[in-house]
Chain A
Amino acid sequence: MPTTVRDAYIKLKTADNLGGNVTNLAEQFNLALTFFGKASDLERAGNNTGADALTKQGQQVIQDIPTDAQNLANLASSQKEQQNRLQIILIPIAALVVAIAAVSIIALRRWVVSKQFLELGVQPVEGLS
């Protein structure tokens, strides 16, 4: 496999594994593969000029993919890191919110119960002398 194709593929795979959206770059990659495939067909048929032209076209399409994929990988990596950091911060905040809510409910319940108790009047029990 030509080095350019291999390099582009490896960079695309890395970007994809890091969660980058490589759909557009994959389309470009496949377009380049189509050019290379047609170039091979022409070469087999003896049309070297046509084959060279298609190979050049393919190389033009594929040449920027490694750089773009690397940028995509860097972006995806930093986004993932940021997301992880945010999640780690959110855990104690969520726990704090739950604790405050729970204690507030307990306190409110106690207050309601004590208020109900205080509102109770003293009444004589019938039948007692």
Chain B
Amino acid sequence: MRYRYQFLVVFLVSLMLFSALYFVSSVPRAFDEYFALYTLGLNGKVGQYFPSGNPDILPGDKLPWSIGVYNHMNSLELVQIRIKLLNLTMKGPNQLDLTSSPQPFFFEETRLLLRNETWMLPFSWSVFNATRTPNGTEIHSISLNGNPVAENTDVPAINGYNYRILIELWIYDETSDGFAFQWNSGGVGRVAWNQVWFNMTRTSIVPS
């Protein structure tokens, strides 16, 4: 009888405490949502993009790269990697207005990524066919994972300098039912892209 008051106080305090704990644990925590996109060179390492050590490549020089995408969006996502061949003057992606390069891609690959999943895409390539022009070099086709690709690969470069392989990450947007270059994280638009520069100045390519 004399413990009734103490029992009631302890019970009510515990009830409030456990309810508060339950409430706090059920509130979703702030989550930094992002995708990570990276390009790796020989043996899956940063650097060594050109096994000979020279970014001035020749047709047939094999470049065993791989591309990684990490999904930290707190949900599963359908992503697409688009790879483009550009020269110095072609417009690349714009980080400020969040637009992609207007150049068409020569390769795309789509994959569903679980939350916190990393996808490694092997991207072993070489220039398959290129010719000399009065102004420099023109690449016509690329060998990609052993298969020649000639679509959207006709790219000239003055004196063969400043070619670039551009890798863009596109995300499936349910609202527009299409892939979009940008995604939203905390109300802010974000984009992810990489590029690796190379030259093709040497004369052992087929003269046109």
Q: Is B202 an interface residue (CB 8 A)?
A: no
Any A CB within 8 A of the CB of B31: no
When distances are taken between beta carbons in the complex, the residues of chain A under 8 Å from B109 are 37
Q: Interface residues of B: mostly helix, strand, loop or mixed?
A: mixed
B75 touches A16 (CB 8 A): yes
Q: Is the interface of A mostly helix, strand, loop or mixed?
A: helix
Q: Is the CB of A9 within 8 A of B14?
A: no
Once the chains bind, are A95 and B14 in contact (CB under 8 Å)?
yes
Contacts of B45 in A (CB 8 A): none
Chain A residues with CB under 8 Å of B151's CB are 44
Cβ < 8 Å to A, chain B residues 8-39: 8, 10-12, 14-15, 17-19, 22
A sample of 17 more A-B contacts (CB under 8 A), given A16-B115, A30-B112, A95-B14, is A9-B112, A9-B174, A41-B147, A91-B19, A92-B15, A95-B11, A95-B12, A95-B15, A98-B11, A98-B14, A99-B8, A99-B14, A102-B7, A103-B3, A103-B7, A106-B3, A106-B6
Residues of A at the B interface (CB closer than 8 Å) are 1, 6, 9-10, 12-13, 16-17, 22-23, 26, 29-30, 33, 37, 41, 44, 87-88, 91-92, 94-96, 98-100, 102-103, 106-107
User: What would 24 A/B residue contacts be, using CB atoms closer than 8 Å?
Assistant: A6-B177, A12-B76, A12-B112, A16-B75, A22-B76, A22-B114, A26-B76, A33-B112, A37-B110, A41-B147, A87-B22, A91-B19, A94-B14, A94-B18, A95-B11, A95-B12, A98-B11, A99-B7, A99-B8, A99-B11, A102-B6, A102-B10, A103-B10, A107-B3
